[in-house]
Structure 1
Amino acid sequence: MSYFLTEEQELMRGIAREFAKCEIAPVAKQLDVTGEFPWDWIKKCAELNFLGVSIPEEYGGAGADCLSECVIIEEIAKESGSLALIIDAHTSLGCMPLLFEGTEEQKQKYLVPAAKGEKLMSFGLTEPGAGSDAGGTKTTAVLDGDEWVINGSKCWITNIGAADTYIITAKTDPEKGNRGISAFIIEKGTPGFEVGKFEKKMGLNNSATGELFFRNCRIPKENLIGKLNKGFPLFLKGLDEGRIAISAMAVGMAQGALDRAVAYAKERVQFGRPISQFQAIAFYLAEMAMQIEVARTMLYRVAKMRDEGLPYTKEAAMLKLFSSEMCCWVCDKAVQIHGGNGYSREFDVERFMRDAKLLTIGEGTSEVCKLVISGHVLA
């Protein structure tokens, strides 16, 4: 189904699909085992302008819309959740704060090379004591002359080590709680800034995730993004963007799992016939397809709302909640349809099931999304 995509969007989908099938699929299983960062994929994404799809052309991007970015992430996620997550963290979480509130100088220095794919971005919000409670940030930034002095730590940060530029949050007025948080730009290699341990995760093994440490890390005064003490609403806005992107990832992964389950069900013979001919299996496949279509329709709608400049915080939370839970369910059923083979790393659905779980946790847990939704419903 075209979903009334424009000719340009269909072209982007086709390019992304060919890239995923020809260059990601053949080595995705092997890379999942080694856990190496997929630099070859990143380089190709840069060449295809996938790392700056929704960034205006004046800042090095393709100048396309959010929906275009969604169809690209969706196609890539059919083969690799890791690469889809890398792109999400780079574009939605890393680039967007600069596009929203960055000065012209900051955009030219950091956003342009990021949109061109010359440098990767990372977004540092989560801390050991501040996960869902993002307002509990303990990292501090104190102005000392013409420099900000950053002290603290971050954890579960995507693209660590690989990224050249980090957008981080820190308390600039601890007495004000959420209203005392600001956002800053920190470059890789800045004295006092260190990358800590890399997490050994259940899935998404090609996505680098781990800790960041700041010990009297000094950055220029002009590395403040937006207004002082206005970082909290800025990263909430960025999370709305991220929830659309991670939902595209969920739809793509679920579709990839369904495609593999359908192919297996047609080939696997038990009791003298393909298992797809048994109603129990056929009904599983029908429900999986239905759930994916519902999520995809909602994804495209919310992306269009964003592109039209409409408020979409509630809808983004609904989308993220539904699509992430849907993806976990679909991947679980894909494994079930494969039977014992589904539990083997020889079959992709095992990797998809492991990768899917992060979707219900990152960029707002399912429970936090319910808080956001209920807050709007009860307002």
Structure 2
Amino acid sequence: MLNVLQPQIISPDFDVFIKSFRERLSDLFNHTYDYNNLSLDRGLPDHFLSEIMDMKPLSVAIPECYGGRGVLVKECLSVLSAASYESLSLSLIFGINIALFLEPFAKYGDSSLKPAVFHRFLEEKAMGGLMITEKAYGSDALNMRTSYEQYGSGYQIKGQKHWQGLTGAADFWLVTARKKNAQGELARDIDFFLTDNNLPEQKIDVERYYNNLGLYAIPYGINNIDIEVPQEHRLQPESTGIKLMLDTLHRSRLQFPGMGMGFIKRLLDETLTHCKNRQVSGLRLHEIDAVKQQLSRIQAAFTICSAMCSYSTSVSSISADLSGNGIDANSVKALVTDLMQESAQISLQLAGANGYRLDHIAGRSVVDSRPFQIFEGSNEMLYSQVAEAVTKLMRKSKEQNLLAFLNVYHLTQHASPYFKKALDLNLSDQIKQRDLVTLGKVIARVICFQFVLQIGNNGFNPQLVSITQDHVSMDIAMLIGQLASNNQAAPQMEYEENSDWTNFTAI
């Protein structure tokens, strides 16, 4: 059992805290260590990471009664944004710790364990992560094979997990497993267990590390689990373990905009500066019409991400039950990560040849942001789930017209009139999966534009709101065109017959 220690109080004004944090990060990444030129190294140097953690960034995700800042969503997202302005990898490290360990542990963990665990985060620079994904099942978490059996006053857990961020580097893990009965069958529900890698009986062994394509600062790999934990290490769900998992994942997805915010702003700042200084045929790059469109798309992404952060702040506190927030959480995660990748691609294109370097912000951003569209649910799957959930609600209300439904649905009722011409279509009862993905992209954009309208009503830059409306309107029109095309194309698995072009030339 972990020792109970007295909390160390942290109480600076947050505006002072975050300003100091941003300035120190900028100095560390751009001057003290010149991290851009170290970007091919795996992991962050220990002394470098130690200096970052000296600022206690994870205090934002620790309750006040244990010495933290209180788990306020606005503060958590601000720390993620400040980090991602300098390094998307660092922001993801914080995101893993905040959304996938500290918040669920604060909400569901045994109170007897919290003082010592939170003390180690605040005073010993500990880190934590979440283990769900398995090699054979991926997003099919409900069929995971990691299992546990109860013995005496504890549990024995066995299995294998992979692609966990901070593999081999985290001090604590939340490990998911299914209960094994006397017949060797696994229960349908899922349980979560706290593990402490400092204790031999709880240590999770790394079989091997992956040579990941990007996000070099974060180790990933295969983890073999054969551990024993005390009874109090099992998290206590309010109802079922599946709802605990959905609550955790939906809260995490709603906090993705924190990581996207600083990342997109950095790309916007760097790209605007480049386009102001770069001349082509006597014109500055930003004066060329096609470039204007590209720059304005990054500004639209910046605006949508800002609105998402505002929305997440209002709904995703740990006191809220987010297990039923699949539509908004999946819309936010899928769209913001698509916007992150698109912004990086635009920045790289406008940077020209110089951008195609791993030590250039644009080149590195393309590679680092790409997996965000895959992990925590691939975007195609999430868009499909958004469309399935909305069409299910439409059937329940006996409504076939998309516009008519969105006009009364609480997440879209203020935004849908802006796109009424495009959205005025009847949906069939049987929609192909490929069309569900496209429909989900449409619905996600309407939902997130409503967030834009909300911050616009609160005084957010009206020019940016107008730019965003233009781009969202264009995107929705294009996606509706995709739906109308009724594309039936399917791959020819045995395609080699009559497919060698050299047999079809005149000479």
TM-score, shorter chain, exceeding 0.5: yes
Tell me, which stretches of 5 or more residues in structure 1 are unaligned? 1-6
Name which of 186, 191, 214 aligns with 2:225.
214
Q: Decide whether the 8 Å contact of 1:140 with 1:172 is kept in 2.
A: yes
Aligned to 1:59: 66
Deviation sequence 1:119-150 (CA, Å, 0-9, x none):
11111111112221111110111112233111
Q: 1:238 to 1:114 in 2, by over 3 A?
A: farther
SS across alignment from 1:34 = coil
Rounded Cα–Cα distance in structure 2 between residues aligned with 1:264 and 1:330 = 15
Q: 1:170 to 1:307 in 2, by over 3 A?
A: closer
- Regions of 4+ moved over 6 Å: none
SS across alignment from 1:63 = coil
Rounded Cα–Cα distance in structure 2 between residues aligned with 1:281 and 1:64 = 41
Q: 1:307 to 1:238 in 2, by over 3 A?
A: closer
Rounded Cα–Cα distance in structure 2 between residues aligned with 1:200 and 1:286 = 36
Aligned to 1:186: 195
Residue 30 (str. 1) matches residue 29 (str. 2): no
SS across alignment from 2:292 = helix
Aligned to 2:453: none
Q: Which stretch of the first structure deviates more once superposed, 156-165 or 264-273?
A: 264-273
- The aligned amino acid for 1:194 is D
Aligned to 2:342: 329
Rounded Cα–Cα distance in structure 1 between residues aligned with 2:52 and 2:243 = 30
Aligned to 1:254: 264
Q: Which stretch of the first structure deviates more once superposed, 119-128 or 108-117?
A: 108-117
- The aligned amino acid for 2:380 is E
% of aligned pairs identical?
Answer: 21
- The aligned amino acid for 1:279 is D
Structure 1 residue 64, shift from structure 2 partner: 4.8
Rounded Cα–Cα distance in structure 2 between residues aligned with 1:57 and 1:255 = 30
Q: Which stretch of the first structure deviates more once superposed, 11-20 or 306-315?
A: 306-315
Rounded Cα–Cα distance in structure 1 between residues aligned with 2:306 and 2:378 = 20
Structure 1 residue 310, shift from structure 2 partner: 5.5
Structure 1 residue 12, shift from structure 2 partner: 4.2
SS across alignment from 2:39 = helix
Rounded Cα–Cα distance in structure 2 between residues aligned with 1:248 and 1:24 = 19
Structure 1 residue 98, shift from structure 2 partner: 1.4
TM alignment of 1:291-306, pairs within 5 A: 291-306=301-316
Name which of 357, 361, 364 aligns with 1:344.
357
Rounded Cα–Cα distance in structure 2 between residues aligned with 1:12 and 1:333 = 33
- The aligned amino acid for 1:340 is A
Residue 167 (str. 1) matches residue 177 (str. 2): no
Rounded Cα–Cα distance in structure 2 between residues aligned with 1:359 and 1:367 = 12
Q: Decide whether the 8 Å contact of 1:37 with 1:208 is kept in 2.
A: no
- The aligned amino acid for 1:124 is M
Structure 1 residue 374, shift from structure 2 partner: 3.2
Tell me, which stretches of 5 or more residues in structure 2 are unaligned? 1-11, 394-507
Rounded Cα–Cα distance in structure 1 between residues aligned with 2:281 and 2:378 = 43
TM-score normalised over the length of structure 2: 0.68
Rounded Cα–Cα distance in structure 1 between residues aligned with 2:157 and 2:359 = 46
Q: Decide whether the 8 Å contact of 1:20 with 1:79 is kept in 2.
A: yes
Aligned to 1:77: 84
Residue 16 (str. 1) matches residue 25 (str. 2): no
- The aligned amino acid for 2:20 is I
Aligned to 1:150: 157
Q: Decide whether the 8 Å contact of 1:156 with 1:210 is kept in 2.
A: yes
SS across alignment from 2:255 = helix
Structure 1 residue 178, shift from structure 2 partner: 3.8
SS across alignment from 2:214 = coil
Rounded Cα–Cα distance in structure 1 between residues aligned with 2:228 and 2:319 = 37
- The aligned amino acid for 1:195 is V
Aligned to 1:4: none
Structure 1 residue 357, shift from structure 2 partner: 0.6
Rounded Cα–Cα distance in structure 1 between residues aligned with 2:124 and 2:339 = 31
Q: Decide whether the 8 Å contact of 1:184 with 1:224 is kept in 2.
A: yes
Q: Decide whether the 8 Å contact of 2:256 with 2:333 is kept in 1.
A: yes
Name which of 82, 86, 89 aligns with 2:93.
86
Q: 1:273 to 1:41 in 2, by over 3 A?
A: same
Q: Decide whether the 8 Å contact of 2:25 with 2:52 is kept in 1.
A: no
Deviation sequence 1:264-310 (CA, Å, 0-9, x none):
11222221332222121122111211121112112221222224956
Q: Count how many residue pairs are aligned between Structure 1 and Structure 2.
A: 371
Max radius of gyration: which structure? 2
- The aligned amino acid for 2:212 is K
Aligned to 2:209: 198
Aligned to 2:414: none
Structure 1 residue 84, shift from structure 2 partner: 0.4
Q: 1:22 to 1:200 in 2, by over 3 A?
A: same
Aligned to 1:125: 132
Rounded Cα–Cα distance in structure 2 between residues aligned with 1:372 and 1:311 = 19
Aligned to 2:274: 264
Aligned to 1:135: 142
Structure 1 residue 48, shift from structure 2 partner: 2.3
Name which of 76, 89, 107 aligns with 1:100.
107
Aligned to 2:427: none
Q: Decide whether the 8 Å contact of 1:182 with 1:229 is kept in 2.
A: no
Q: 1:241 to 1:94 in 2, by over 3 A?
A: same
